[in-house]
Structure 1
Amino acid sequence: MEDIIINSENLIEEVSLNFKRYLYTQINWNNRLIGIKGARGTGKTTMLLQMLKASNLRMSEKAYFTLDDIYFLGNSLLETGKLFYQQGGKLLVLDEVHKYPSWSQEIKNLYDRYRDLQIVFTGSSIVDISTREGDLSRRALMYELQVLSYREYLHYQYGMGYPVLKLEELLNSKESIRSLFPKDFKPLANFRGYLKFGYYPYQTEDRLGYFQRLRQQSRLIVEYDMAELKGFDIRHAKKMLQLLFVVAQQVPFKPNINKLAEKTGIHRNSINNYLYFLEEARLLSLLQASGSSAALLQKPEKIFMENSNLLYALSEDAPEIGSVREVFFHNQVSAKHKLSMPKSGDFLIDWKYVVEMGGKNKDSRQILDLPNSWLVKDDLEYPVGKSIPLWLFGFLY
């Protein structure tokens, strides 16, 4: 255990506290069992190391263990946690728990046996703790970390700190929106860069290899992480990747199940299951019709890539701006609000607000007679009448 303790201390010492993800301040760090889900590359590990570094506990009282470490191939989590506790440990952070087969049962045992031990664990976005042996759902306070918002990107990349906006404030307080930003702030100056490169914190490390890294990350999610999904046969990973690639060439679109089945070699009766798995892995997003049943695995009205960086990375040709704007809007708004497809317009937010997307020449004829309806334009700096700038929806978290 000495080696993983040394590694823990080194990682805690080296992590920077300069930038913290939005979720850092929303987590109740006093809870005794905390779970954090999220897709690869969103910054879960960094956030937990920051929490450990900021803790007032002595270094010997806190530790970070990643369960994909080779150490855990020959040592049990339960025994390691017991030894850590016996040596005075008070705060244990467990990363990548889904890589360890009996993680939920052993975390439950640690939680039940050692009442003054706090445990924080992270897992892939595909992890559903309510279906795991031991069922931690009644004990753990769960959170999910999203990709960087446009607001966070400006802070992380350029040091620009701006407040989070509530949806109602964004829609109804048009005159006061401008006053929240400095006079010299140019909201569109970095927006295109964000849409292509800004969703993951590691984008600063290698801009030239960024898309290749996203493609590799997508493959790892399908071939490695999704093995943990209940009902997913890893032998179908190649077809899953093929489906993801086919969808990336034409999203957002209304899916034709027969054509998708023909292009991918997946039986038409399995397409919805595959789409559902890809959504659980945070590679795709599915939009259902407003008023449709909440039944699982129904055919979606539209399919989107989970974010526009993935769209650029997986598209053979440069995606159309109309596709990019819809993918961005869906990604940023669905993090905090329920989206569905209305009878008129492009999106229905929280079953109340209708949104029509467009560029500078878009007019409001399609939603003219609809109450609580707005135009969202991607070339606008600040709200004008019923038109709201697309970039503003990147300030919801």
Structure 2
Amino acid sequence: MENLIKTSQRLVNSVQTNTFRYLYSQINWDDRLIMIKGARGVGKTTMLRQRIKERFGPNGTALYASCDNLWFTDNRIVDLVSWHYDHGGTHLYLDEIHRYGGNWQVELKNIYDSYPDYHIVFTGSSMIHLDSALADLSRRCLPYRLYGLSFREYLNFAGYANLSPLSLADVLDSNHKAEWAIINALPEKVLSLFSRYLGKGYYPFYDPDHTGEYYGRIERLIDTTINQDIPSIETVEQETLHKLSRLLYVMSTDVPFTLNVQSLSQKIQVSRNSIIKMFELLDKGGILRCLYSGWRSPKSVAKPGKILFDNTDIMAALSTLNEIGTVR
């Protein structure tokens, strides 16, 4: 327990509080049970630590814990809450809940019912897992989803400008005041900055002084999603995991990519239904985005109308062959 507390203090103390993601100000932090889901790398962990540092400081009433910590090998979330509550704790921030070995849905439900003045915020990168769990917690849990950086956020994070969100009225203003204010605030032409954003702007860990590490980190995010997140909630053979990586490689080098399930089945050497299941898993993992037609039976095994990479940075990390039409 002591190591868990020291780790929490060290991580919270080291987090920066100069910039916050858009979702930070939209969350009702007073709610007793909050879910924050999103793909790996979009800033969920940083947001939890920022909340503790900004709201609670070092007083110990709030605790951060990652569920892949070795402490949870022999201990449960309810044990942590019991100890923390008895020692004056009021808020627990749990990261990577899908990596927890036990039945966390039941434990969170019991904590919610047994500790009426205790608050829990939890995050997860496995949206397959979290979406299925939401049904059990629907009456108690307030869900949010965090996406990657918008172009506006990228400009702010990269230090090009400090732009606030625009209202619809601002955008529709016939005098174009908002547009001119943005143009005048930028040090370069908008299109050149936007082109930069399309390749290295979706994830908030971009560092202009270490550009070579950016794509390597995205590759590691993809690898972790395939080899850790997906197996944590699906019984998947090792060969299938390898073929998920193979599928992404084929898609990234087939430029421009056109969806042909039969051709992909032959290249990956799996059945048609397996290809469609792979699309579903990679979509839930935040790597691909599947678009379906307006109507389909929930129980049907229908192929998506179109398959896109979730963001253009994943495309850039996997291949140098990206054609501008595919990027758009």
What TM-score results when the alignment is normalised by the length of structure 2?
0.90
Alpha-carbon distance change, 169 to 253 in structure 1, aligned in 2, over 3 angstroms: farther
Instruction: State the one-letter code of the partner of 1:114.
Output: Y
Query: Match of 2:232?
Result: 228
**How many pairs were matched up?**
322
Task: Find the aligned partners of 1:133 and 1:285 in 2 and give their Cα distance.
Answer: 21
Instruction: State the one-letter code of the partner of 1:197.
Output: K
Residues 286 and 302 in structure 1, CA contact (< 8 A), matched pair in contact too = yes
Deviation at 1:82, TM superposition (A): 0.7
Query: Which segment is superposed worse, 137-146 or 124-133?
Result: 124-133
1:82 alignment partner, SS class: helix
Deviation at 1:109, TM superposition (A): 1.8
Query: Match of 1:153?
Result: 154
Matching of residues 262-301 of structure 1 within 5 Å? 262-289=266-293, 291-293=294-296, 295=298, 297-301=301-305
Alpha-carbon distance change, 28 to 251 in structure 1, aligned in 2, over 3 angstroms: farther
Structure 2: state its 5+ residue gaps.
none
Query: Which segment is superposed worse, 103-112 or 173-182?
Result: 173-182
Q: Deviations over 1:153-204 (max 9, x none)?
A: 100011512232467865x556424244252533123222211111111121
Query: Which segment is superposed worse, 48-57 or 140-149?
Result: 48-57
Task: Find the aligned partners of 1:196 and 1:156 in 2 and give their Cα distance.
Answer: 15
Query: Which segment is superposed worse, 127-136 or 82-91?
Result: 127-136
Residues 256 and 323 in structure 2, CA contact (< 8 A), matched pair in contact too = no
Structure 1: state its 5+ residue gaps.
326-397
Residues 33 and 139 in structure 1, CA contact (< 8 A), matched pair in contact too = yes
Matching of residues 183-202 of structure 1 within 5 Å? 183=184, 185=186, 186-202=189-205
Task: Find the aligned partners of 1:11 and 1:212 in 2 and give their Cα distance.
Answer: 23
Query: Which segment is superposed worse, 71-80 or 247-256?
Result: 247-256
Deviation at 1:232, TM superposition (A): 4.8
Query: Match of 1:323?
Result: 326
Query: Which segment is superposed worse, 29-38 or 220-229?
Result: 220-229
Residues 93 and 119 in structure 1, CA contact (< 8 A), matched pair in contact too = yes
2:60 alignment partner, SS class: helix
Task: Find the aligned partners of 2:160 and 2:100 in 1 and give their Cα distance.
Answer: 38
Query: Which segment is superposed worse, 131-140 or 75-84?
Result: 131-140
Residues 36 and 44 in structure 1, CA contact (< 8 A), matched pair in contact too = yes
Q: Which residue of the other structure, out of 246, 251, 267, is the alignment partner of 2:250?
A: 246
Residues 126 and 229 in structure 2, CA contact (< 8 A), matched pair in contact too = no
Deviation at 1:258, TM superposition (A): 0.7
Task: Find the aligned partners of 1:173 and 1:231 in 2 and give their Cα distance.
Answer: 53
Task: Find the aligned partners of 1:168 and 1:301 in 2 and give their Cα distance.
Answer: 34
Query: Match of 2:124?
Result: 123
Query: Match of 2:114?
Result: 113
* Structure with larger RCO (C-alpha < 8 A, sep 6+): 2
Instruction: State the one-letter code of the partner of 1:110.
Output: I
Residues 65 and 95 in structure 1, CA contact (< 8 A), matched pair in contact too = yes
Residues 126 and 229 in structure 1, CA contact (< 8 A), matched pair in contact too = no
Higher helix residue share: 2
Task: Find the aligned partners of 2:276 and 2:290 in 1 and give their Cα distance.
Answer: 10
Task: Find the aligned partners of 1:92 and 1:312 in 2 and give their Cα distance.
Answer: 37
Task: Find the aligned partners of 2:57 and 2:46 in 1 and give their Cα distance.
Answer: 18
Alpha-carbon distance change, 263 to 17 in structure 1, aligned in 2, over 3 angstroms: same
Matching of residues 1-397 of structure 1 within 5 Å? 1-56=1-56, 59-101=59-101, 102-129=103-130, 131-132=132-133, 135-158=136-159, 160-165=161-166, 170=171, 172-173=172-173, 175-176=175-176, 177-183=178-184, 185=186, 186-204=189-207, 206-230=210-234, 232-233=236-237, 235-250=239-254, 253-289=257-293, 291-293=294-296, 295=298, 297-315=301-319, 317-325=320-328
Residues 227 and 234 in structure 1, CA contact (< 8 A), matched pair in contact too = no
1:208 alignment partner, SS class: helix
1:224 alignment partner, SS class: helix
Deviation at 1:264, TM superposition (A): 0.5
RMSD of equivalent CA atoms = 2.3
Alpha-carbon distance change, 43 to 191 in structure 1, aligned in 2, over 3 angstroms: same
Residues 279 and 288 in structure 2, CA contact (< 8 A), matched pair in contact too = yes
Instruction: State the one-letter code of the partner of 1:145.
Output: L
Instruction: State the one-letter code of the partner of 2:19.
Output: F
Query: Match of 1:352?
Result: none
Q: Deviations over 1:61-93 (max 9, x none)?
A: 111011101111122221111101111100110
Task: Find the aligned partners of 2:104 and 2:185 in 1 and give their Cα distance.
Answer: 51
What TM-score results when the alignment is normalised by the length of structure 1?
0.75
Alpha-carbon distance change, 282 to 294 in structure 1, aligned in 2, over 3 angstroms: farther
Deviation at 1:125, TM superposition (A): 4.0
Alpha-carbon distance change, 130 to 223 in structure 1, aligned in 2, over 3 angstroms: closer
Deviation at 1:126, TM superposition (A): 2.0
2:124 alignment partner, SS class: strand
